[in-house]
């Protein structure tokens, strides 16, 4: 199932890379690309390089179990540690694959609610790319207690501390944007401010566990549990809530309730810190992770009680969010095209958008098109409306290149996906699922890519 989900995410990554590189609106050169799209682009490249590692290791593991290979069997000359290396070569970049899209959301939201373009756009984008590169040189910091050589371990300590630099640059850019802006405090921004506080704490404990002596001390304790919840809930869930409040009106045409949003934020912020901050102390006091209970009288009771209360608060805040979504879908305020007075292109179309986003493609005059337009919006005309024709643009400067007709809706991709699903689910139980399941996969792929006669060619 892991191999299967990674095949799926590889397919998505390829789609995103090609779309971002070749299908941008005319005028949207790479230095006008919204930071969220940059973050998705960088993340997609990381997916392409990280996912094969875990696909290989999970395939090797299932082969060990189903067809008696010996990749990880030390008795037969295999290497058990190889599993950890391959897994963490994927697992560490994965942390940034979760985190970077969230930073892209934060950059969009902070700029909109500071009422100014993001401070240091080139620095933010360079930091995204730098994070992606560094993320592939850190995996051994998850393996400090496996008895690897000391010199190697210290190299990975240095690299792990280095990755704090680009993340720090981004945080300073967001603070500078807010510093220079006229701040409008709405729910999406609250979640981004919460994110900055929580993520900085997680970054600090991250620098601590990057050092071998501290990591050896707190290994497999609640300190590590506290650390990664601060970076992952702080670094991904807070921005994701911000992003949901921010883009919900565009997606659904309804505003989420602002009052419920504030309650949602404060309950989550207080509940989160109440749950996970005491875990730092618990870890330092020696409480191991992955235990469901412990003897009384170890002094861990009070902090665990706090954490339990906090967890209930998190639950209440998420329930409140779900109620807010359901209520707002039914009777929320109707969303205008651009409810936040944002500068980027998605706010130029209707809420919710047309089937093909824009009836005519806008020409992009700058990084925040809606803040820079003077007078009439310039549109690119001439694409056919009766077929799915799109404009392919040049990679760097997004000047128009040629028109391209997308395929018509088809059942074949769905059938291919179902056949692939059947193959992978079957392979959990028997290796025969691979050769037998390959037949329907091949049939559906052939059906999908069978040359089709175009319904009607556009006249020359
Ligand atoms: Cu890591």
Tokens of 306: 């706090």
Q: What is the C-alpha separation between 97 and 94, in angstroms, rounded?
A: 5
In the reported structure, the alpha carbon of residue 72 is separated from the centroid of ligand 1 by a whole-number distance in angstroms of 22
Q: What is the mean pLDDT of residues 24-37?
A: 94
Q: Is residue 161 part of a domain?
A: yes
In the reported structure, the alpha carbon of residue 94 is separated from the centroid of ligand 1 by a whole-number distance in angstroms of 9
Tokens of 26: 């005319």
Between β-strands 361-362 and 400-405, what pairing exists: parallel, antiparallel or unpaired? Answer: unpaired
Tokens of 81: 């540690």
Least confident of 317-331, 337-351, 360-374: 360-374
Q: What is the mean pLDDT of residues 217-235?
A: 94
In the reported structure, the alpha carbon of residue 21 is separated from the centroid of ligand 1 by a whole-number distance in angstroms of 29
Q: Give 389-436 pLDDT, tens digit per residue.
A: 889 999 999 999 999 888 888 999 999 999 999 999 998 888 899 999
Q: Are residues 401 and 419 in the same domain?
A: no
Q: What is the mean pLDDT of residues 222-245?
A: 95
* pLDDT given at position 460: 46
Least confident of 207-221, 315-329, 368-382: 368-382
In the reported structure, the alpha carbon of residue 301 is separated from the centroid of ligand 1 by a whole-number distance in angstroms of 30
* pLDDT given at position 248: 96
In the reported structure, the alpha carbon of residue 315 is separated from the centroid of ligand 1 by a whole-number distance in angstroms of 27
Q: What is the C-alpha separation between 196 and 102, in angstroms, rounded?
A: 11
Q: Which CATH number covers residue 36?
A: 1.20.210.10
Q: Give 58-69 pLDDT, tens digit per residue.
A: 999 988 988 889
Q: Is residue 336 part of a domain?
A: no
Q: Are residues 116 and 190 in the same domain?
A: yes
> Is the per-residue pLDDT at 456 higher than 60?
no
CA distances from 261 to 152, 189, 315, 333 (A): 47, 11, 15, 14
Confidence band, pLDDT 50/70/90 cuts, at residue 385: confident
Q: Are residues 16 and 158 in the same domain?
A: yes
Share of the chain above pLDDT 90, in %: 80
> Is the per-residue pLDDT at 293 higher than 50?
yes
* pLDDT given at position 409: 85
Q: Is residue 421 part of a domain?
A: yes
* pLDDT given at position 379: 86
Q: Are residues 381 and 429 in the same domain?
A: no
Domain count for the chain: 3
* pLDDT given at position 378: 86
Which of 206, 222, 252 terminates a domain? The answer is 252
Q: Are residues 242 and 354 in the same domain?
A: no
> Is the per-residue pLDDT at 455 higher than 70?
no
Q: Give 69-87 pLDDT, tens digit per residue.
A: 999 999 999 999 999 999 9
Q: Are residues 30 and 103 in the same domain?
A: yes
Q: Are residues 353 and 423 in the same domain?
A: no
In the reported structure, the alpha carbon of residue 136 is separated from the centroid of ligand 1 by a whole-number distance in angstroms of 9
Q: Are residues 130 and 209 in the same domain?
A: yes
Q: Is residue 309 part of a domain?
A: no
Q: Are residues 168 and 219 in the same domain?
A: yes
Long-range contact list for 216-220, CB < 8 A, 24+ apart? 216/144, 216/145, 218/283, 218/284, 219/144, 219/145, 220/288, 220/289, 220/290
The residues with which 404 forms a beta bridge, in sequence order, are: 390
What is the pTM assigned to this prediction?
0.92
* pLDDT given at position 228: 93
Domain of 97? 2-252
Q: Is residue 269 part of a domain?
A: no
In the reported structure, the alpha carbon of residue 104 is separated from the centroid of ligand 1 by a whole-number distance in angstroms of 20
Least confident of 73-87, 111-125, 163-177, 354-368: 354-368
Residue 102 neighbours by CB under 8 Å, 6+ apart: 195, 235, 236, 238, 239, 240, 243
24 φ/ψ angles, rounded to the nearest 5 degrees:
-80, 155
In the reported structure, the alpha carbon of residue 95 is separated from the centroid of ligand 1 by a whole-number distance in angstroms of 7
What residues sit around ligand 1, an ion, with C-beta below 5 angstroms? 92
* pLDDT given at position 377: 82
In the reported structure, the alpha carbon of residue 147 is separated from the centroid of ligand 1 by a whole-number distance in angstroms of 17
Q: What is the C-alpha separation between 159 and 186, in angstroms, rounded?
A: 37
The answer to whether the beta carbons of residues 84 and 60 sit under 8 Å apart is no
The CA angle 205-201-261, to the nearest 5 degrees, is 145
Tokens of 50: 């990280």
User: How buried is residue 209: exposed, middle or buried, by Cβ count under 10 Å (0-12/13-18/19+)?
Assistant: buried
Which of 193, 224, 252 terminates a domain? The answer is 252
By C-alpha distance, which of 206, 212, 218, 102 is closest to 164?
A: 206
The answer to whether the beta carbons of residues 9 and 430 sit under 8 Å apart is no
Tokens of 320: 């409140």
Instruction: Tell me what the pLDDT averaged over the chain comes to.
Output: 92
User: How buried is residue 416: exposed, middle or buried, by Cβ count under 10 Å (0-12/13-18/19+)?
Assistant: buried
In the reported structure, the alpha carbon of residue 428 is separated from the centroid of ligand 1 by a whole-number distance in angstroms of 28
């Amino acid at each position: 199932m892991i191999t299967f989900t990674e095949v799926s995410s590889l397919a998505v990554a390829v789609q995103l890379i090609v779309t971002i590189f070749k299908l941008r609106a005319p005028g949207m050169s790479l230095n006008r690309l919204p930071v969220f799209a940059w973050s998705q682009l960088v993340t997609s490249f990381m997916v392409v390089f990280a996912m094969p590692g875990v696909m290989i290791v999970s395939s090797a593991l299932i082969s060990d179990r189903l067809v008696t290979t010996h990749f990880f069997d030390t008795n037969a000359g295999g290497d058990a540690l190889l599993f950890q290396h391959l897994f963490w070569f994927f697992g560490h970049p994965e942390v940034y694959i979760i985190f970077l899209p969230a930073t892209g959301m934060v950059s969009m939201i902070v700029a909109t609610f500071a009422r100014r373009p993001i401070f240091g756009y080139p620095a933010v984008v360079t930091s995204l790319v730098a994070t992606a590169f560094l993320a592939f040189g850190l995996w051994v910091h998850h393996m400090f207690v496996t008895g690897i050589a000391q010199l190697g371990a210290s190299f990975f300590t240095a690299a792990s501390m280095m990755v704090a630099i680009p993340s720090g640059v981004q945080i300073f850019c967001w603070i500078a944007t807010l510093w220079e802006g006229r701040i409008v405090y709405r729910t999406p921004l609250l979640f981004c401010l919460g994110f900055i506080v929580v993520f900085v704490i997680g970054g600090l404990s991250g620098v601590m566990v990057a050092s071998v002596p501290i990591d050896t001390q707190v290994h497999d304790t609640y300190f590590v549990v506290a650390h990664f919840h601060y970076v992952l809930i702080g670094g991904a869930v807070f921005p994701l809530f911000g992003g949901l409040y921010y883009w919900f009106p565009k997606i659904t045409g309804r505003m989420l309730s602002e009052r419920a949003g504030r309650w949602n934020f404060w309950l989550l912020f207080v509940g989160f810190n109440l749950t996970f901050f005491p875990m730092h102390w618990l870890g330092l006091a020696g409480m191991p992770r992955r235990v469901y209970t412990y003897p009384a009288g170890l002094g861990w009771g009070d902090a665990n009680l706090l954490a339990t209360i906090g967890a209930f608060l998190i639950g209440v805040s998420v329930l409140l969010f779900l109620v807010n979504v359901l209520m707002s879908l039914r009777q929320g305020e109707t969303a205008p095209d651009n409810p936040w007075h944002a500068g980027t292109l998605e706010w130029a179309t209707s809420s919710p958008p047309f089937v093909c986003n824009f009836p005519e493609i806008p020409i992009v005059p700058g990084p925040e098109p809606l803040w820079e337009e003077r007078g009439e919006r310039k549109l690119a005309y001439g694409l056919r409306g009766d077929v799915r024709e799109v404009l392919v643009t040049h990679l760097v400067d997004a000047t128009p290149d040629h028109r391209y007709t997308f395929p018509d809706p088809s059942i074949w991709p769905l059938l291919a996906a179902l056949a692939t699903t059947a193959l992978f689910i079957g392979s959990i139980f028997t290796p025969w699922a691979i050769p037998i399941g390959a037949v329907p996969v091949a049939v559906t792929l052939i059906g999908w890519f069978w040359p089709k006669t175009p319904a009607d060619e556009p006249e020359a």
